[in-house]
Structure 1
Amino acid sequence: MTDVDSFIADGFVRVEGAFSRELAADCREILWRDTGCAPGDRSTWTRPVVRLGDYAQEPFRAAANTPALHAAFDAIVGEGAWLPRGSLGTFPVRFPGGDAPGDDGWHIDASFPGDDPSDYMSYRVNVASKGRALLMLFLFSDVGEDDAPTRIRVGSHLDVPPILEPAGDEGLAFMDVAGKAVPASEHRPVVMATGRAGDVYLCHPFLVHAAQQHHGTEPRFMAQPPLAPAGPLPESSPVRIAIGRGLGR
């Protein structure tokens, strides 16, 4: 059972064993090949992060559409309120050692395009979370404290609605939201999105989070796709209930 109350209060839940370790291994085999690096030759691990494009092959589609995940989507977003994923988006594969990754700032993810759809920095967020029902973190490798787990500010999703509400339907651009949400959530405790291959973190779209440098020994494989809403979120959706709580309603 998905802990809906925890999701509303903390902004995330972890679905343990959301997909099988065998599926995770099948996907890693494909991802390793595309990194251009060799699993057994650390001299090829020359970059702190390798970003790989969208993956829609069968093992990725299967990992994104297990019964456990669909049940969790129904519980957190609302039955019939979300769209199934046909792929798993981009993968930032993080390697140990080396330079700082340069992409480890605190932020929330933007949801819909601005004036220039090709410019991600102009993407926007509004208080209704147009275009995004969830941020998801799919772990395709075991991730411990030293393996560059995503950092999460617990409860920070409640700090964001008051920032967005005055902007109405148009919302705010990615950098404008970050410039306000990051200082507004500095008081929040931080946890790490650790777990085993096959675990999935389901996060509120407004959750403030950040990457970090890899201090472990083995590369970290993770996907971070959005879950799209089927339309405006129903009033009964825990995602929407959390937004209302952030607004003091």
Structure 2
Amino acid sequence: MPNSKQTGLTPGQVQSFIDDGFVKVEDAFSADLAKKCRAELWADMGLSPNEPESWKQPVVRIGFKSSPPFVEAANTRRLRKAYNQLVGEGRWITPNGLGTFPIRFPSPQSPGDDGWHVDMSFGTENSDFMEWRVNVKTSGRALLMLFLFSDVGSDDAPTRIRKGSHAIIARELLPFGDAGATLRQLSAGGYSSTEGCDVEMATGAAGTVYLCHPFLVHAAQPHGGTEPRFMAQPALLPRGEFDPDLPPSPVQVVIRQACNLKL
């Protein structure tokens, strides 16, 4: 039997990505590597895993990390094969690190950032983040990715995912064309069109990665467990726009099927 850490996604996993908007990749990187990354993040926060009395905030954010452990975690053989399968070989930029990191701590306080949303892909130079944009061609983002650097159970503030919401968002983005919709426009209805979607929790052991379609609706939640949750939520960046002369990637297939387009 082939070593799962050396192989890519199965046909069934690729189809799940198309149907549900995400695929869970277990053992995407090692638990030892996750431990090294956590040590760096603890140091960056100036906090200690042995001093829970110092964990005062429900969430602490760390920016982009480009030290060797994070570069290695983003570029394992298994993940690179999966990137090729979902985005297309040669159509994505090799990650030079990971970020950002919303590190969530056990807390009775609301984290204040737990609303449903779609991550924006371009226009991020605008100082008003509500004017950041996303378009039907998902310009500027090939995948949304969730890297688990700690074990995440159902009580550990796992990201909530609305299964199948990516296809609904694709149809809603179509009328906005290449210019795309702003976060203000897209979120005006509170993503009510996706309220009927089943919800999946992004749980898993340290070293798990969720590879998600850029249009997937997702949300944070309060932490009701006992240990901090370490996760990165980077984008996989595309090399360029969709090329109609190339076979469509699963990312494109979703949009084609949802909108009846030939992207």
**Is 1:133 matched with 2:145?**
no
Aligned residues: 248
The structure 2 residue matched to 1:57, chosen from 64, 67, 79, is 67
Give the match for residue 102 of structure 2: 92
Could you tell me how far apart the structure 1 residues matched to 2:49 and 2:101 are? Answer: 17
Residues 185-232 of structure 1: CA deviation (Å, up to 9, x unaligned): 111000100001001000000000000000000000000000011112
Picking from 223, 245, 250, the partner of 1:214 is: 223
> What residue in structure 1 maps to residue 200 of structure 2?
191
Q: Which residue of 2 aligns with 1:106?
A: 116
Which of the residues 242, 251, 256 maps onto 1:239?
A: 251
Which of 147, 161, 164 is the matching residue for 1:155? 164
CA distance in 1, matches of 2:64, 2:24: 23
Deviation at 1:180, TM superposition (A): 4.3
Taking structure 2 as the reference length, the TM-score comes to 0.91
**Deviation, structure 1 residue 89:** 1.5
Q: TM-score, normalised by structure 1?
A: 0.96
Aligned residue number for residue 93 of structure 2: 83
Supply the distance in 1 between the matched residues of 2:258 and 2:223 (Cα, whole angstroms).
33
Aligned with residue 142 of structure 1, among 151, 166, 171:
151
Helix, strand or coil at the partner of 2:73? helix
Shift of 1:96: 0.4
1:35, distance to aligned residue in structure 2 (A): 1.6
In structure 2, the partner of 1:33 is 43
- The 8 Å contact of residues 108 and 224 in structure 2, kept in 1 or not, is answered as no
Contact 2:165 2:216 in 1 (8 A): yes
- d(CA) in 1 for partners of 2:72, 2:172: 37
Distance 1:118 1:60 in 2: 28
Of all paired residues, the percent bearing the same amino acid is 54
Which amino acid is 1:108 matched to?
V
- Specify every segment of 5 or more residues in structure 2 that has no aligned partner in the other structure, as ranges: 1-7
Residues 13-32 of structure 1 aligned to structure 2 (within 5 Å): 13-32=23-42
1 CA distance for matches of 2:36 and 2:89?
30
Counterparts of 1:243 and 1:170 in 2: how far apart (Å)?
16
Q: Secondary structure, in 3 states, of the residue corresponding to 1:152? A: strand
Residue type at the aligned position of 1:11: G
Residue 12 of structure 1: aligned partner: 22
